[in-house]
């Protein structure tokens, strides 16, 4: 696991006068499970959107498989497929689950409807929801909606291998879920990583202790727009880094300024 798949070099991003990312260097290696943690408002979702190619940095460079990315993902030309699971499941309420999961293929491929339906069924089986294709998002629980959004993120076009994601980015996949529903999602993230031919690299932004410990091999800690610490999950137990110690203990005393 030493081959860099995605590299951010000196990336900065401001919204107005607020510098959210400040000279961030970050590498995601092929095949790794990277956790991105840090206090609220510290730029975790922003960094994910920059990695996904949904947002341009003001400064810095992004390399995908060693090739500098020019522009956003919508401009095309990207060798590596990147799938994103948003914090809110971001499903279309007026479409069925089947239409949501197959959305990109219905829009962008010439596959016959029956073939897309088979592919959708395959993905819904993978996320443990074989019977919900005919339902609307409003008829599902929050955890089920998240799993449907996973099925959509791993959808690929068998006639065009470049369409399938090689990297999955999860933005707070367990936010708002009870501990058991969170475990289902965490297991699913690991299961999808190990499925041959679907996706072997991911980054997950999370606040939840269980999600961090169960889905990440390596962690980076973001605070004030910078990577302040990185290490393995087990190293979090022994580190003397005061930011990590405060964050994981939940203490209001320490170098992290308490919001609000």
Ligand X SMILES: Nc1ncnc2c1ncn2[C@@H]1O[C@H](COP(=O)(O)OP(=O)(O)OP(=O)(O)O)[C@@H](O)[C@H]1O
Residues in contact with ligand X by the rule CB under 6 A? 15, 20, 38, 40-46
Distance CA 186, CA 123 (A): 17
Q: Of 250, 229, 212, which is closest to residue 33 (Cα–Cα)?
A: 212
Virtual CA dihedral for 207, 173, 187, 103, nearest 10 degrees? -170
**DSSP letter at 17?**
T
CB of 20 to ligand X, least distance (A): 4
For ligand X, give the closer residue by CB, 40 or 107.
Answer: 40
For ligand X, give the closer residue by CB, 104 or 175.
Answer: 175
CB of 214 to ligand X, least distance (A): 19
CB of 41 to ligand X, least distance (A): 4
CB of 43 to ligand X, least distance (A): 4
> b/e string for 71-80 if b means 16 or more Cβ within 10 A?
eeeeeeebeb
Residue recorded with tokens 């956790």: 35
For ligand X, give the closer residue by CB, 200 or 206.
Answer: 206
Distance CA 260, CA 245 (A): 21
For ligand X, give the closer residue by CB, 40 or 253.
Answer: 40
For ligand X, give the closer residue by CB, 150 or 221.
Answer: 221
- Report H helices in the chain: 44-52, 97-101, 103-108, 113-126, 142-153, 179-194, 209-215, 242-249
Distance CA 246, CA 248 (A): 6
Q: Return the bridge partners of 18, or none.
A: 15
For ligand X, give the closer residue by CB, 20 or 52.
Answer: 20
The dihedral through the CA atoms of 237, 40, 59, 17 has a sign that is negative
């Amino acid at each position: 696991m030493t081959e860099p798949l995605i590299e951010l070099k000196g990336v900065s991003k401001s919204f107005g006068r607020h510098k959210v990312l400040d000279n961030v260097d970050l590498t995601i290696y092929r095949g790794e499970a990277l956790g991105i943690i840090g206090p609220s408002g510290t730029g975790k979702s922003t960094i994910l959107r920059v990695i996904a190619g949904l947002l341009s940095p003001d400064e810095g460079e992004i390399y995908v498989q060693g090739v500098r990315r020019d522009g956003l993902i919508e401009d095309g030309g990207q060798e590596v497929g990147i799938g994103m699971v948003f914090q809110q499941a971001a499903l279309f309420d007026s479409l069925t689950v089947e239409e949501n999961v197959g959305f990109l293929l219905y829009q962008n491929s010439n596959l016959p409807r029956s073939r897309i339906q088979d592919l959708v069924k395959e993905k819904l089986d993978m996320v443990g929801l074989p019977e919900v294709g005919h339902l609307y998002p409003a008829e599902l629980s929050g955890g089920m909606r998240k799993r449907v959004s996973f099925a959509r993120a791993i959808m690929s076009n068998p006639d065009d291998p470049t369409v399938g994601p090689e990297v999955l980015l999860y933005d707070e996949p367990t936010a708002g879920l009870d501990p058991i529903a969170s475990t289902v999602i965490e297991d699913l993230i690991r299961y999808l990583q190990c499925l041959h031919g679907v996706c072997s690299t991911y980054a997950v932004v999370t606040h939840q202790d269980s999600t961090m410990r169960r889905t990440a091999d390596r962690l980076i800690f973001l605070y004030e727009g910078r990577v302040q610490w990185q290490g393995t999950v087990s190293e979090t137990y022994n580190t003397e880094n005061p930011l990590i110690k405060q964050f994981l203990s939940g203490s209001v005393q320490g170098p992290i300024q308490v919001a609000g």
